[in-house]
Amino acid sequence: MDTQNITLSIPKKTLRKAKLLAVKRNTSLSSLLTQTLEDLVTQEEGYDQGRQRSLELLEKGYDFGTRGKAVWSREELHER
């Protein structure tokens, strides 16, 4: 994998906690941040794909076997 160094400004308290978390997980801070960012990107891509599929289905519409015509009245639907 091709990598690139970056500079981050992180509050000292957060950085200290992140370093401890990396030690607990037996990994480096760099690996911890990389994995977290990869998870975030994957989650966002999955959301975008799901949203696109849903919009396509809405655009296409659903076949309920009525050929687009309601065979019932509002009163029949709300009868008690």
Provide the whole-model pTM: 0.64
User: What single-letter DSSP state applies at residue 65?
Assistant: S
Asked whether the beta carbons of 27 and 18 are under 8 A apart, the reply is no
* Tokens representing residue 1 in the block: 């994998």
pLDDT, residue 11, reads: 97
What's the pLDDT tens digit per position in 29-38?
A: 999 999 999 9
Asked whether the beta carbons of 45 and 34 are under 8 A apart, the reply is no
Asked whether the beta carbons of 29 and 22 are under 8 A apart, the reply is yes
3 state DSSP class of 70: coil
Q: pLDDT in tens for each of the 80 residues of the chain?
A: 799 999 999 999 999 999 999 999 999 999 999 999 999 999 999 999 999 999 998 888 877 788 778 888 888 889 87
Tell me how far apart the alpha carbons of residues 43 and 22 are, in angstroms, rounded to a whole number.
Answer: 22
Q: At a CB cut-off of 8 Å and minimum separation 6, what does 31 contact?
A: 22
pLDDT, residue 32, reads: 96
